[in-house]
Amino acid sequence: MGKGLNVFCTQNGWIDNESLWFEIRESANDDVVVAVGFVEVIMEESGCVANRRECFGKLRLFLASDGPVKSAKVI
């Protein structure tokens, strides 16, 4: 997947981990579709917070036979 959840950021900000949520939308034997959301914190050059923006997306998580995520795809 490359950049992880940062692919859903709109202005190259950082993810406020405390705002992160996910919801399982579909489930099969070897993959799960999840909706994710978080608040992106956008900084000014001075280091001050300029804005906070809600971001959303969907991922298909491909699972190993013993359970852990082996890969993910943005959908």
| Mean pLDDT along residues 27-53 | 94
State the pLDDT at residue 62.
96
| Mean pLDDT along residues 44-64 | 94
Confidence class for position 3, pLDDT limits 50, 70, 90: low
State the pLDDT at residue 29.
86
Per the prediction, the chain carries an average pLDDT of 93
State the pLDDT at residue 52.
96
Cβ neighbourhood burial of 59 (10 Å; 0-12, 13-18, 19+): buried
Domain range summary for the chain, segments of one domain joined by +: 4-74
| Mean pLDDT along residues 10-33 | 95
